[in-house]
A and B are shown apart, each in its own frame.
Chain A
Amino acid sequence: AQRVTQPEKLLSVFKGAPVELKCNYSYSGSPELFWYVQYSRQRLQLLLRHISRESIKGFTADLNKGETSFHLKKPFAQEEDSAMYYCALTWFYNQGGKLIFGQGTELSVKP
């Protein structure tokens, strides 16, 4: 079965420090991975997806199929990055286009 694991419930860093939010997945085929973010009092929204290979708000994520990981990274954290982050997985021929989410990691960036 498909599974997404985010091992850290809470990650606390100081402003300007590097950030890495870990995501590991379980799927034997070719997955598509996403990061979603939920800022305080805002809707859950897409941050980035691996096929786009883009950097959004300074965040990047690389799909490592060998390690089945899709870690989210940012070299210099900002206070406005404080939010709940979810890693999510989908796959080809997925009826209904379902997304499977991880448990979420709360990022707290301190001044």
Chain B
Amino acid sequence: DAGITQSPRHKVTETGTPVTLRCHQTENHRYMYWYRQDPGHGLRLIHYSYGVKDTDKGEVSDGYSVSRSKTEDFLLTLESATSSQTSVYFCAISESIRDRGLSGTLHFGNGTRLTVT
């Protein structure tokens, strides 16, 4: 398995509280992604990063922010958690972007199960 660690693995929090999820990689890959997994919706991209301090929004970015101050760490923050953000969150990394901008294979972390009560 690629060296990707997500923390925490499980978290229960109350509505309105801030939450930060961490993704740590040991592969020195440039591209990192945060997805959420929900029944009936599959995996949806929240934010992604293409380098230190370089991030951009995905399809479901509202209510989330990210930061990447080091190559190895990509943080996802829920500024004020809501029940609709109860989900399983996956971090992924990509080895490279191939010729003509195609994605490389994604390697996923084990996921963080977040429950907002």
Binding site for B on A (CB under 8 A): 4, 6, 9, 32, 36, 43-46, 49, 86, 90-104
User: From DSSP, what is the main secondary structure of chain B's interface residues?
Assistant: strand
Q: Is the CB of A32 within 8 A of B102?
A: yes
Q: Is the CB of B90 within 8 A of A102?
A: no
Q: Is the CB of A93 within 8 A of B103?
A: no
Chain B interface size band reads 20 to 34
Closest residue of chain B to A101 (Cβ to Cβ) is B43
* Nearest CB on B from A85, distance (A): 10
Task: Find B101's partner among A45, A97, A100 (CB 8 Å cutoff).
Answer: A97
Task: Find B42's partner among A46, A94, A95, A101 (CB 8 Å cutoff).
Answer: A101
* Nearest CB on B from A106, distance (A): 9
> Contacts A44-B108, A46-B105, A90-B103; is A95 near B56 (CB within 8 Å)?
yes
